[in-house]
Every structure is written in structure tokens, then in C-alpha cells.
Amino acid sequence: MDVTYVKQALIFKQVYKKLVKIEDPMESFYLIDIIQRFGIEHYFAEEIKVALEKLHLTLNTNSIDFASSHEIYEVALAFRLLRQGGHYVNADLFDSLKWNKRMLKEKHGEDVKGLIALYEASQLSIEGEDSLNDVGYLCRELLHGWLSRNQEHNEAIHVANTLQNPLHYGLSRFMDKSTLIHDLKEEKDLICLEELAKINSNIVGFMNHNETIEVSKWWKELGLAKEVKFSGYQPLKWYTWPMACFTDPNFSEQRVELTKPISLIYVIDDLFDVHGTLDQLTILTDAVNRWEITGTEQLPNFMKIALNALYDITNNFAEMVYKKHGFNPIDTLKKSWVLLLNAFMEEAHWLNSSHLPRAEDYLNNGIVSTGVHVVLIHAFFLLDHVNGITKQTIDILDEKFPNVIYSVAKILRLSDDLEGAKSGDQNGLDGSYLDCYMSEHQDISSEDVQGHVAHMISNEWKFLNQEILVANQFSSSFSNFCLNAARMVPLMYHYKSKPSLSNLQEHVKSLINVSVGCN
């Protein structure tokens, strides 16, 4: 491993020199794009930040000149990189091109590179940017047309992958990089990036492997695994979320610690969905609201063990944060769990009554019952910004769902329900948003309501995009974590390619060299 680190340092130095010495801004953005696609941007975070700030200043000074003096590919790439980096760029950057469908087809119908760049850029649109959305739809249509005429072309696979999995909705670690590697081989001075990516992948994979062992050991020592009802649980499934969202290799401790509350969300969800009676769940929810163990004597032993685990994990987590940052988040953590249990309890009442709620009521409650807020609030306290948090920030976490958390939770809830409807995996009692919506709108078809929900998900991504761009009370590190959490959703509940969770777990195993025995 020492030899690997030495080699890594040498290649890093080589890439660093190239990145800081580039004089042509577009050449540096091309390099940044490759670095991000390979998932090695953490090595060059400061250099990338400086480069993007310079570009942002240029565009703010004279966006029209920039657009008119660069190719479509370059304008779209600059736009996408800046918005991904949290810099607002006005979508009128594209207005000077004065497109319409016919002109775009005549001038750029065969320009695959430009069309792909434009399509990728359009995925970062925010609410109200109809012209940018139109550009995206046109590019999608033209790329589909090109694909139908050029199925044997060497770019065909790349075009198909782009249309199905746009960069903005994906995580670099789970993306197909074969086309990128092929392109790099034609630019020999950049081939070192592939080598650095391979070294990084090996190092991170080794760390992730050790982390899964640590998580599995923790789960066994917790005692829940000894209960028959929980014996088949797989910690790797829970660990996949922190692994995907905490992308910096240095966040090893954070990945392990975040897996613990995630495990409890799955456990408690099953208590409500499978194992508990309404009376038992009422007692359990009341105990969590009081944050006490008293009054739970009637609960079966497995519920008492789960409740004690919840208290212990939460208290230990709060103590860890306090020792590290001098701030005790226990009250905020408790409130997040209370919200979740109350939302689960509401769903249990709906199920018990065999009565579908109104679609709006279902969705408002379902956004909470995803448990996303519990995960993101725990993640918030694991980031290094904890030393600088204010009372105002904590009040926002305590009193309401911040927009960035709300959007991630809504994307997950709607995606989960949409995938369930497409696979037929819904019981129609505690339901789904689609069931509730169709109950209120008797004249709508199943296909139409699926389209409606897909549109709602698309719109929520626009709100999330906007939240990443606006100056808010949260750090960029937390906003990026939230964005990565949203990006996990298409992997788990993709409405087109439908990779199952089991397939995702197999892929994760291959990435981190985990054997089946480590489940």
C-alpha cells in the first residue's frame, strides 16, 4: 500500500501542475470535467474552486460575448460546471444562439458532442427556466433521432447512456467510464488521470471494505441480529447510502457512524409494517415521544430491544459530536426520531382503517416517513461545519423541514411509489401517492398518473437545483451531501432501467471487494 500512495502522490503532482498552469479557461474546464467524472475531484478541490470562480467572474462580466465567442459544447460545459459548483449562471446565456427546432436541427443535428453537452446542461435548470427546458427536450429529441440513424456508430453507446443516465442525476462511482477512458487514450498527456482514478478506486475500495467489516461487527455486537425477526438483515444495504454520499475518502468515520441510525430506520420501519400490532405501535410511539423506556412493559422483547438500541445509538451519537465539536445535538436528534415515529403511526392508522387518505395528506406524511430527514440531520452533525453552526440553523432543523431536505425526501417518496406502481408491488392500503391520487381522480389512467408523478419528480429536482445555488444557512458540504442523497434515488428506484436493490448491492460488493459472507 505504501508503494501505491507514493505513485498516487507522483501522479497527483503531475495533474496538479497541469491544472494550475493551463492558460486557456476552456482547457481547464475540460480537465475539471474529466476529473469530476472520474470521481477524483477531492484531490483538486481548491484548484477547481479557484478556476470556477474565475469563470463565474468572466460570465458575470459579459455573458453574451462569452456565448458568441465559444462553441455550443464549451458554453454548455461552462454552464453545467458552474451550476454544479454552486454558482448561479443566468440561463439567458443561451439566448444569443436564437434557436428554434428547425435551426437547431439544421445547424447541430449531427453535432453529438454539442447536443450531449446541452442536454446535460439542461438537467441543472431551476423553476421558471422554460427556455432551458425546451433546449433540453429538443436536444433529447435530436439525440434520439441521431441514435436511430447511427446505431452502429462508436458514439452510440455513449449517447444512449447519456439519455438514460444524465450526469447530474448520477454518482461518478457508479457510472460507466468506458467512453471516457477511450477518449483519454487519444490524449496521451491526460492518460495519467485514468491511472490516478484507478489508484483512488483501490484505496477507497480498501477503506470501504474495512468499514463494512466494522459495521458488520457493530451490528452483531448490538444484539438485534440475535432476534429471529432481525437475523436476516444486511448491514451492507444500509452502508451503501453513506458510502455513496460521503464521497471524500477522509470521511471514513462518518460513513460508519451514519450507517447506525440508518439501520434503525429500517428496523423501526419493519416494526410498523410487519411485526407490530396497532396497540404495540402506539405504546412504542408514545415512548419515543417521551424519550423514556417506562410504560413499555407490555411490548414484546424484540420491540424493547429495538427501542433501547434507538436510545443508545442516539445518545452515543450525540456524545460523540459533543466530544469532537463541543456541541450537543441530542434535542435535535430526538425531534427527528419523534417526527419519524409519528409519521409511521399515521400510516399505521390508515392501514388499520383500510381507508386511503387524500393524496396531499399522504404525500405530506410520506415525505416524513421516508426517514430522509433523520439521515440528513445526522449527516449534518458529522460534517466539519458543526463548529460554526448558529442557533438559527438549529431552529430551522428543529421546527421545519429545510427546503433542501424536503426536496430530497419528496424525490425519494415519489420515486419509491412510482417504482412500486410500475412493478405492481403495492398493497393499496397504506398505499402510495398514485393510489391516493387515482382514488380522487377516477377518470385518470394508471399510465397518466405515472406520468404525472414522474413530472412531479422532475419539478422537485428543479427546486433542489435552485436550493444548491442560493445562499442559505447550510454549508456547501451539507448541500452536496443532500444532492448525493438525491442522486442515490435513481440508482435505487430508476423508472426506466429498473436496476433492483439486489443488483445494486452486488455492484457495491464488486466495488469494495466484499464477499457474500460479509453481509
Q: What is the pLDDT of residue 406?
A: 95
pLDDT, one tens digit per residue, over 103-112 is: 777 777 788 9
Q: What is the pLDDT of residue 455?
A: 93
Highest mean pLDDT among 155-159, 368-372, 426-430: 368-372
The CATH 1.50.10.130 portion of the chain extends over: 1-195
Choose the weakest-confidence range: 104-118, 159-173, 186-200, 267-281.
186-200
Identity of the residue numbered 32: I
Q: What is the pLDDT of residue 425?
A: 53
Q: How confident is the model at residue 413 (pLDDT cuts 50, 70, 90)?
A: very high
User: Span 225-236, mean pLDDT?
Assistant: 81
User: Span 385-411, mean pLDDT?
Assistant: 83
> What ranges in 96-177 are assigned the alpha helix state H?
101-108, 112-122, 130-149, 156-164
Query: How confident is the prediction for the chain on average, in pLDDT?
Result: 85
Question: Percentage of residues in the chain with pLDDT exceeding 90?
Answer: 42
The CATH 1.10.600.10 portion of the chain extends over: 223-514
Q: How confident is the model at residue 195 (pLDDT cuts 50, 70, 90)?
A: confident
User: Span 64-78, mean pLDDT?
Assistant: 87
* Backbone φ/ψ region at 99: left (φ over 0), alpha (ψ -120 to 50), beta: beta
Q: What is the pLDDT of residue 263?
A: 94
Question: Percentage of residues in the chain with pLDDT exceeding 70?
Answer: 87
User: Span 351-374, mean pLDDT?
Assistant: 92
Assigned CATH topology for domain 223-514: Farnesyl Diphosphate Synthase (1.10.600)
- The torsion angles phi and psi of 151, rounded to 5 degrees, stand at -65, -25
Rounded Cα distance between 242 and 503, Å, is 18
Decide if 47 contacts 19 (C-beta within 8 A). Answer: yes
Rounded Cα distance between 469 and 460, Å, is 14
For residue 516, pLDDT over 80 is answered with no
Of 440, 409, 441, 437, the closest CA to residue 421 belongs to 437
Highest mean pLDDT among 16-20, 91-95, 306-310: 306-310
Q: How confident is the model at residue 310 (pLDDT cuts 50, 70, 90)?
A: very high
User: Span 268-285, mean pLDDT?
Assistant: 92
pLDDT, one tens digit per residue, over 450-471 is: 999 999 999 999 999 999 887 6
Angle between helices 156-164 and 112-122 (to 10 degrees): 10
Choose the weakest-confidence range: 100-114, 130-144, 309-323, 416-430.
416-430
Of 511, 487, 441, the closest CA to residue 208 belongs to 511
Q: What is the pLDDT of residue 105?
A: 75
Q: How confident is the model at residue 9 (pLDDT cuts 50, 70, 90)?
A: confident
CATH code for the domain defined by 1-195: 1.50.10.130
> Greater confidence, 353 or 513?
353
Rounded Cα distance between 27 and 437, Å, is 50
> What ranges in 187-300 are assigned the alpha helix state H?
191-222, 235-245, 252-270, 278-290
For residue 475, pLDDT over 70 is answered with yes
For residue 333, pLDDT over 90 is answered with yes
Highest mean pLDDT among 40-54, 360-374, 376-390, 408-422: 360-374
Q: Is 372 exposed, middle or buried (0-12, 13-18, 19+ CB in 10 A)?
A: buried
Rounded Cα distance between 507 and 513, Å, is 10
User: Span 345-354, mean pLDDT?
Assistant: 89
Q: How confident is the model at residue 393 (pLDDT cuts 50, 70, 90)?
A: confident
pLDDT, one tens digit per residue, over 492-509 is: 765 344 444 456 666 676
Q: How confident is the model at residue 189 (pLDDT cuts 50, 70, 90)?
A: low
Q: What is the pLDDT of residue 415?
A: 92
Of 448, 367, 355, the closest CA to residue 401 belongs to 367
User: Span 272-299, mean pLDDT?
Assistant: 92
Q: How confident is the model at residue 257 (pLDDT cuts 50, 70, 90)?
A: very high
Of 259, 231, 260, 266, the closest CA to residue 244 belongs to 259
User: Span 135-146, mean pLDDT?
Assistant: 90
Predicted TM-score of the model (pTM): 0.90
